[in-house]
Amino acid sequence: MSLLWYTQNESANASDTVTSGSLRLDQLLSSITEAQIMAFVITGIFLLLCLTPEKPTVAGAPVHGRRWRWEPTLWLQSRFTFGAREIVASGYAKYKNRPFVVKRYDVDLTVLPHKYLEELRLVPESKLSAARAQAQNAGHKWTGAVVFSESHLHLRALQNKLTAELSKYLDVAYTELDYAWALHMPKLNEWQEFDIQEAMRMIVSRMFASAFVGHPTCQNEAWVKMSVGFSIDLLTTAFTIRIFPTWLHPIIARLVPARYRIAKTVRLAHKILEPLVEKHADVIKKRATGENVSEEDTIFNWMIDNGTDDENTIDQIVMRQLLLTVVSIHTTTATIMNVLFDLTNGFSPGE
């Protein structure tokens, strides 16, 4: 009987202790404000990121850019977003004959001295891919640039078709230049403020389109404006996403307006390019029956003829053509503008 009383009494005391502990825990939790909880969470995430060990980099290559020895990697990565030029330039000045590593949110950047150029040239594409690196810089997962790293059809088209028959395509582009120049350049006899860079973008877009997709698509206003705008939206999306750590990309990507403009552009490109695909398929069928059918010799058609089944899905075709505009229009426009600025340096109206 006494043993039963002791056990019940002990259980009651234990229950009272648990109840008392629960009350104190409830009081503690109720006294914590939402701001304090957020501060605890943010501090925990910050410490986790700062204390996470760095991944191995190139053997013997120091990590450059820290302002002090114990600067957290997270801070160093964030400073690269807006201070990349300064970090890389100072690293080159310090390590002219040694490789060094620059920390970024997505992937680390390894800078090599010039003495390794010949060795790098011999590295096979399977181990060192410039296309894959460019796609990574373009935020490929969130912009669609992944097709550039999935295959090299675009490179084969430029090397085996465009470069091999460059004189022919220069004539095509020159003819389109005459048309585009009259359309976009002002016809005035007096000085006037004019956005020459925007005009050059439109002219260059038409010239490349004449070689890539041919007529009449190269004179389609929707395609020309879309080609120019797509490049800006893609680079804007990629830059905005890369400001933040990779674990935040799924959230940030859905908040970038330019990414939704990319999706709208892709839908419009489908409507413009799908008829071209069908037209080329019809020409192939007619030629197979012996019918003599003429067709414009475009890069677009060559890529379809020389692409694999995976490369010739409509989604791949559309995205690859849009990405070709990214690597052609704005780089060419920038070169032209630099020439114009050099020619007009020191020149004033009336001279």
Tens-digit pLDDT profile for residues 306-318: 999 989 999 999 9
Residue 125 φ then ψ, to 5°: -60, -30
Distance CA 68, CA 82 (A): 18
pLDDT score of 49: 55
Q: What is the mean pLDDT of residues 191-212?
A: 90
Distance CA 148, CA 319 (A): 9
Contact 298, 215 (CB under 8 A): no
pLDDT band for position 5 (cuts 50, 70, 90)? very low
Most confident option among 8-22, 95-109, 131-145 = 95-109
Using the predicted structure, report yes or no on whether residue 21 has a pLDDT greater than 70: no
- Kindly report, residue by residue over 30-39, the tens digit of the pLDDT: 666 666 666 7
User: Which of 277, 325, 329 lies closest to 300, judged by CA?
Assistant: 277
Which structure tokens are listed for 245?
Answer: 């750590």
Q: What is the mean pLDDT of residues 234-242?
A: 84
CATH superfamily, domain 147-343, is: Cytochrome P450 (1.10.630.10)
Distance of CA 13 to the CA centre of its chain: 65
Element holding 265 (H helix, E strand)? helix 257-288
Residues 6+ apart with CB under 8 A from 77: 103, 104, 105, 245
Contact 230, 208 (CB under 8 A): no
pLDDT band for position 239 (cuts 50, 70, 90)? confident
Residues 6+ apart with CB under 8 A from 345: none
Domain range summary for the chain, segments of one domain joined by +: 37-122, 147-343
Contact 211, 298 (CB under 8 A): yes
Q: Which residues does residue 102 pair with via DSSP β-bridges, in sequence order?
A: 64, 109
DSSP 100: E
Distance CA 111, CA 97 (A): 10
Residues 6+ apart with CB under 8 A from 219: 179, 206
pLDDT band for position 87 (cuts 50, 70, 90)? confident
Q: What is the mean pLDDT of residues 182-199?
A: 85
Q: What is the mean pLDDT of residues 53-57?
A: 53
Using the predicted structure, report yes or no on whether residue 323 has a pLDDT greater than 70: yes
pLDDT score of 31: 64
Q: What is the mean pLDDT of residues 41-58?
A: 59
Q: Which residues does residue 36 pair with via DSSP β-bridges, in sequence order?
A: none
Using the predicted structure, report yes or no on whether residue 210 has a pLDDT greater than 90: yes
DSSP 243: T
Confirm whether pTM is higher than 0.85. no
Q: What is the mean pLDDT of residues 296-321?
A: 92
Q: What is the mean pLDDT of residues 227-248?
A: 85
